[in-house]
Amino acid sequence: MAVGDAYQLKLSGNSNGVTILNIFHYEMVAGSGGGSSQLASGFVLNVLDNIGAVCGSDTTFTDLEVRNLADGTDFAVDAFSVPGARSSTAATTFLAWSFTYNPANINFRAGGKRFGSIAILDVVDNNPTGGMITILNACAIALGNPIVSGGNTYRPRIKRKTPLSDPATYTYINVDNVEFHRISTQGTRKPWIGV
% of the chain beyond a pLDDT of 70: 91
Q: Look at the alpha carbons of 102, 108, 109, 115 in this order and tell me if their dihedral is positive or negative.
A: negative
**C-beta atoms surrounding 33 within 10 Å:** 12
Please name the residues in contact with 132: beta carbons below 8 A apart, sequence gap of 6 or more: 54, 122, 123
The residue-averaged pLDDT of 14-26 equals 90
pLDDT at 25 (0 to 100): 96
Contact predicate 117/88, CB 8 Å? no
Specify the pLDDT at position 63.
Answer: 96
Verdict on whether the full-model pTM lies above 0.85: yes
| Cα–Cα distance measured from residue 68 to residue 75, given in angstroms and rounded to the nearest whole number | 6
Average pLDDT, the chain: 87
Does 191 score more than 60 pLDDT? no
Q: Tell me the per-residue pLDDT of 102-138, one tens digit each, with 9 for 90 and over.
A: 998 888 889 889 988 888 888 888 888 888 999 999 9
Region 57-83 average pLDDT: 93
| pLDDT of 144 higher than 60 | yes
